[in-house]
Copies of this chain bind each other. A is one copy, B any other.
Amino acid sequence: MLNITYPIFQAPMAGGITTPELISETSNCGGLGNLGAGYMDPKEIKEAIKQIRSLTDKPFGVNLFIPNVREVHFDEKELTAMTVLLNQYGQELGIEVPVSNQVNNYKALYENQLEEVLRERVPVASFTFGIPDREVMTELRKNGTVIIGTATNVKEALELEVSGVDIIVAQGSEAGGHRGTFHEEASGLVGSMALIPQVADAVYTPIVAAGGIMDTRGIAAAMALGATGVQLGTAFLTCKESGAAEIYKKTLLNSTEEQTTFTKAFSGKLARGIGNRFIHEMAEQTSLPFPLQNDLTASIRKKAAMLKQPDFMSLWAGQGVRMVKETTVKQLMRELIEGK
């Protein structure tokens, strides 16, 4: 279906991680590289796709975030309180966190992203945080684009199957970064060992397992549980080709499984990363809804990365983080395919 040699996906991590080099090299090695385009504007997507295509003639994917259909509700008082709070960190970093009650219009962004994805006739389009509309799926299908949805429990997988997606990524609770959950948050925290077979029992659609998979052992386990393919994020983060900041890579190389934790402090949506000062200090605070909280913390995360200050960066990582290595895509893919 995908015209790839090995059913190994490089996860579409957002925020500049999935460089054209990371994606193209994964695809050139026989896997499927994926662009984490959730926060990217159409021009950036267009440029990234152009670069990917200049580096590979193999298939690749583009991932988009389905925007919340509901309006993002928040209280002016909460917004002010959060801005004051964040400005304490801003002060430490020498920036002012702007008081913004303008939620970026993610619905319009998504529609523009989609247009670009359709225009570019990408080989694979994957979606997180929901199910694309029937019309969108029809248009993508006309282009021959393979459509991937993300589920974190059986109910979501069944809904994706009914919607007609071609592949379902089953994201176990071990996974780093945002939970793909589009139903109640607490319903989407199932470990891969339990999630994969239960999804496999429930749907006919091929399953790609994600969450905690780091090497051939994880791949064999996922296949035994009923997956047809695997998606790895954390293992690709420390590749030379990844766009992760050096300090982020260095932190991952020195982190252990129990240091990862769930937080909503960076974006307003539950995500797993390495616990740091920001996460710990914000643990008692109620974050504003996604994506408003994400917009509010953007300047802090950006400045912290510039200053190589991991205390205020979103260091997304899965629970398999102890197994990361300083490597290249070629070396990683070789190990994933041939074993050590």
User: Which residues of A come within 8 Å of B, CB atoms?
Assistant: 153-155, 172-174, 184, 186-188, 190-195, 197-198, 201, 211-215, 217-218, 220-222, 224-226, 256-258, 261, 318-320, 322-323
Contact = CB atoms under 8 A, between A and B. Distances in A.
Counting from the closest, the 5 A-B pairs by CB-CB distance are: A193-B212, A191-B191, A194-B212, A194-B319, A187-B258
A329 B323 CA distance: 37
Nearest to A198: B322
A215 B197 contact: yes
Contacts of A191: 172-174, 191-193, 211-212, 319
A213 B196 CA distance: 11
6 contacts: A174-B194, A186-B261, A187-B258, A193-B218, A194-B257, A194-B320
Contacts of A153: 256-258
Contacts of A154: 256-258, 322
A218 B225 contact: yes
A318 B190 CA distance: 10
A174 B197 contact: no
A199 to B, nearest CB: 9
A197 B323 contact: yes
B201 A172 contact: no
